[in-house]
Amino acid sequence: MLVRAALFIREPSREEYYTVDSGPGIEHAKSLVTTGVPPLLRAEAPHKLPIRTLVAASVGNAVEWYDWTVYATFSIYFATQIFSAEDESLAFILTFTTYALAFFFRPLGGLLLGRYADLRGRKQAMLLTIMLMAGGSLVIAILPTYAAVGWVAPILLLLARIAQGMSLGGEVSSVSAYIAEIAPPNRRGSYSSFVYISTGAAVLLASLLGAFLASTLADDQLASWGWRIPFLIGAALGIVGLWMRRDMAETEQFEENVGKAKAIKNPLMLTLRDYPKSVAQLIGLTLLSTLCYYTFFSALIPFAVKRNGLNDGMVFWALSIATALFVVLQYPFGWTADRFGRKPQLFVWSGAIALLMVPISTLIRPEAGFGSVLLVFCFGLGLYAMKSSIAPAIMSELFPTKLRCLGIGAWYNLTVALFGGTAPLVIHWLGDIGHSSWFFWYVSIGAVVAFITTLTLPETKGLVLK
């Protein structure tokens, strides 16, 4: 039955009379009464970012990277506390070996915790990863010394680092999938940018804390007890993150597809059998991504200070400013990827690194000033922000929901372990044989691989996840 409803609608500037026809009832008329404007004339409400949810999801990622940075920063102080002080050189080697070993547990964590996230939920996996990371940080903070318990101390350190390595492997895939799945398709890049906002902020916090403690405590105080402070802070941050995540809702994508995930018998082989192109694309992009991260956040520092004799304070401040720039650029680049597409940014990022990495590296030389060092760090991290801002979105768009966390967790973390974890060792080895500059050619080759990989990608701006 056709129903005709006559309504007076008052607008800010005038009063108008609308006659509204509807088929089975007066739903359109009810809409007019409720909203004050007819459906066709009603403007779409501005989108409001779920800031609390995004922060809660990203805070675990921040805790993970804070703890990893703190370990690298303060290892020079606790090496002879946890390992035998009789051979200082061996103590440092064993401390850094423990750091490196944790990298190779990342793929295992990505595989196991990724599968857990696909079966039990993204939220449950993120609660587990942050507990593992905070627990590992607390164990390190209260470790007994080698002088007190002998080899029990380094064994406990290794177990704590293994837990943290597995935790980070599972965290990356879970938080990437969670944020991608709660985001509207046309805003997935903007939502994804929060992941590396937290990463950059955590690295900056850890670095600034290191500078603060180094300037306020004497070396013997740092070596005896001061190094424990950052790990206690990391454990406390983990508890805060756990509290923030407790009320997060599970994603609708997971709930609708959990049955499909449970029906899969061999998920890792399924990624290779049914999604080999996605696996190759993930590896191709992650290869350059992880080289960028560990080159500019890690490997370039000893190259500048040890190999070229630059002042460590100058290098630190240049990196800190560039890290702040990296954080600031995340959301704008996430927004532009939603507006103009993912591929243009990936082409600029990989193309510029391929062409300019070697020339820009020549600015790091013994007579380099602050401006030159700052330019190198800003160049690398500014370009890297174009990729990192949308990395969770891109990775999540490569795999279906039933395999998303396992697909990301296994293959992303394997690539990071092979190329990211070895970057400082490669540049150090090349320096020892007198060819430090070859490392930057190595990064450029990785950029060519990423550029070619981008050519094979479909444009996924606005894509509805499968």
Domain assignments of the chain as residue spans, ordered by start: 3-35, 51-258+274-456
pLDDT of residue 12: 35
Q: How many contiguous H segments (helices) and E segments (strands) does the chain have?
A: 21, 2
Angle 215-328-333 from CA coordinates, rounded to 5°: 150
CA–CA gap between residue 262 and residue 120 (Å, rounded): 9
Contact 8, 15 (CB under 8 A): yes
CA–CA gap between residue 233 and residue 130 (Å, rounded): 14
Please give the C-alpha separations between residue 341 and each of 227, 311, 350, 451, 457, in angstroms, as whole numbers: 45, 41, 15, 15, 12
CA–CA gap between residue 4 and residue 15 (Å, rounded): 19
Structural tokens at position 422:
């070895």
Secondary structure (DSSP) of 115-136:
HHHHHH-HHHHHHHHHHHHHHH
E strand or H helix at 5: strand 3-10
Closest among 184, 276, 237, 187 to 70, alpha carbons compared: 237
Please give the C-alpha separations between residue 292 and each of 5, 81, 341, 420, in angstroms, as whole numbers: 63, 32, 22, 8
Within 13 Å of residue 291, how many CA atoms lie on the same side as its CB? 26
DSSP 8-state code for residue 419? I
Structural tokens at position 298:
């890690």
pLDDT of residue 44: 53
pLDDT of residue 45: 61
Query: Which residue is associated with the tokens 């627990």?
Result: 135
**CA 428: distance to chain centroid?**
25
Neighbours of 123 (CB within 10 A): 21
DSSP 8-state code for residue 36? S
Neighbours of 24 (CB within 10 A): 8
pLDDT of residue 209: 87
Contact 129, 97 (CB under 8 A): no
Full pLDDT tens readout for the chain, 466 residues = 333 333 333 333 333 333 344 444 444 433 434 444 444 444 556 777 788 889 888 988 888 889 888 887 788 788 888 988 888 888 888 887 888 788 889 999 999 999 999 999 999 999 999 999 999 999 999 999 999 999 999 999 999 999 999 999 999 999 999 999 999 999 999 999 999 999 899 988 888 888 788 888 888 888 889 999 999 999 999 999 999 998 899 999 999 999 999 999 899 999 999 999 999 999 999 999 999 988 888 778 878 887 888 887 788 889 889 999 999 999 999 999 999 999 999 999 999 999 999 999 999 999 999 999 999 999 999 999 999 999 999 999 999 999 999 999 999 999 998 888 778 778 778 877 888 889 999 999 999 999 999 999 999 998 888 8
Structural tokens at position 393:
């979105």
Please give the C-alpha separations between residue 55 and each of 141, 281, 337, 425, in angstroms, as whole numbers: 26, 29, 21, 34
pLDDT of residue 37: 46
CA–CA gap between residue 251 and residue 150 (Å, rounded): 47
Report the top-level CATH class of 51-258+274-456: mainly alpha
Please give the C-alpha separations between residue 325 and each of 121, 353, 391, in angstroms, as whole numbers: 34, 18, 18
**CA 425: distance to chain centroid?**
22
